[in-house]
Amino acid sequence: MAPAMRFVFGLLTFVTVGMIIGALFQLAFIHRLEDSYGDEFPSTKLHRSQSDGYLKLPRGISHWHGDKEAEILRLGFVKPEIISWSPRIIVLHSFLSNEECDYLRAIARARLQISTVVDATTGKGIKSNVRTSSGMFLNPTERKYPMIQAIEKRISVFSQIPAENGELIQVLRYEKDEFYKPHHDYFSDTFNLKRGGQRIATMLMYLSEDVEGGETYFPMAGTGDCNCGGKTVKGLSVKPIKGDAVLFWSMGLDGQSDPNSIHGGCEVLSGEKWSATKWMRQKSTF
């Protein structure tokens, strides 16, 4: 078994062994991840593999040299930052490479449509002034592309939720003055629970740079103030930095939907905010 696979072995039992044990596994995983990049965070100057389409680790990190699983997981690059345990929120710095960010934007740009929200009565998507953005979903065929497979596997390992429990990745674009008002990712209807059960966690990945505003805002997290679309508000917010990701849970350690996981996308003041979202369920979605 490759070193990187031994590194993550047993970490995909999050749902089956219980939420609390899963949280402890994840904390242990983060500590192991911190050990993987040492005292100094490595250079972000990357070089591309000619054969597999995703990025190799920087030269000089001999511990993971030649380990393809480490390349897929970006061990030595991803730096975790726990910003809240209730609700549970982890920022994963450098989760995606620049090439992966650009790739997701490129395959999405020509297929963007006005975003919708889930109607609590019918469970279907409807247009709403709660959400002013454009988006699209990758299709099942694209899920098999090598770079998408690498991202999907990374999401599964870092969230400790099996890949088959994930919905298709959604790519979103927020232009100037666009936003997403605070909301929950878990479902309030029964229609959407039929395939895969409740949403338990979200991986939100940032794909663009030079964005002012557009923070991801958690009004029920933290005890201080933060910036949201140029305003000072109560709670925590995460600035959209290209390549970073925010992993947060819609379900608490008691197995119930967590109302404190409410979050929103702050108004974009300048530039374009591109992001990709992966929602994860209790059971297989395919």
Angle at 222 between CA 238 and CA 234, to 5 degrees: 75
Segment 1-15 mean pLDDT = 54
Q: How high is the pLDDT of residue 253? A: 84
Q: Give the predicted TM-score (pTM) of the model.
A: 0.82
Which two tokens mark 119? 């109607």
Query: Is 283 in a helix, a strand, or coil?
Result: coil
Interval 17-56: pLDDT, tens: 456 666 776 777 776 666 655 544 433 333 333 334 444 4
- The CA distance from 217 to 208, in Å, is 18
Interval 166-205: pLDDT, tens: 999 999 999 999 999 999 999 988 888 988 999 999 999 9
CATH architecture of the domain with residue range 3-41+48-255: Sandwich (2.60)
- 241, 245, 250, 253 alpha-carbon torsion, rounded to 10°: -120
Which two tokens mark 252? 């608490």
Q: Which residue ranges make up each domain of the chain?
A: 3-41+48-255
